[in-house]
Amino acid sequence: MNYKEELTKSMDLLASEGYLFIGQSVKYPGNAIYKTLINVPDSQKIEFPVAEEMQLGVSIGLSLEGYKVCSIFPRMDFLICAMNQLVNHLDKIVDLSHGFYKPKVIIRTMVGSKKPLDAGLQHTGNYIKMLECLKNVDVFELDDKTIIYECYQDAVESDRSTILVEYGEMH
Output the domain CATH number for residue 113: 3.40.50.970
Give pLDDT, residue 161: 98
Q: What is the pLDDT of residues 114-130, one digit of tens each?
A: 888 878 788 888 999 99
Do 145 and 10 meet the contact criterion of CB atoms below 8 Å apart?
no
Q: Domain limits at 46?
A: 3-170
Helix (H) or strand (E) holding 63: helix 52-64
Low-confidence ranges of the chain (pLDDT < 70): none
Count of domains forming the chain: 1
For the CA atoms of 152, 153, 154, 160, the dihedral, rounded to the nearest 10 degrees, stands at 70
Give pLDDT, residue 120: 79
Q: Is the pTM of this model over 0.85?
A: yes
As a whole number of angstroms, the distance between CA 110 and CA 145 comes to 14
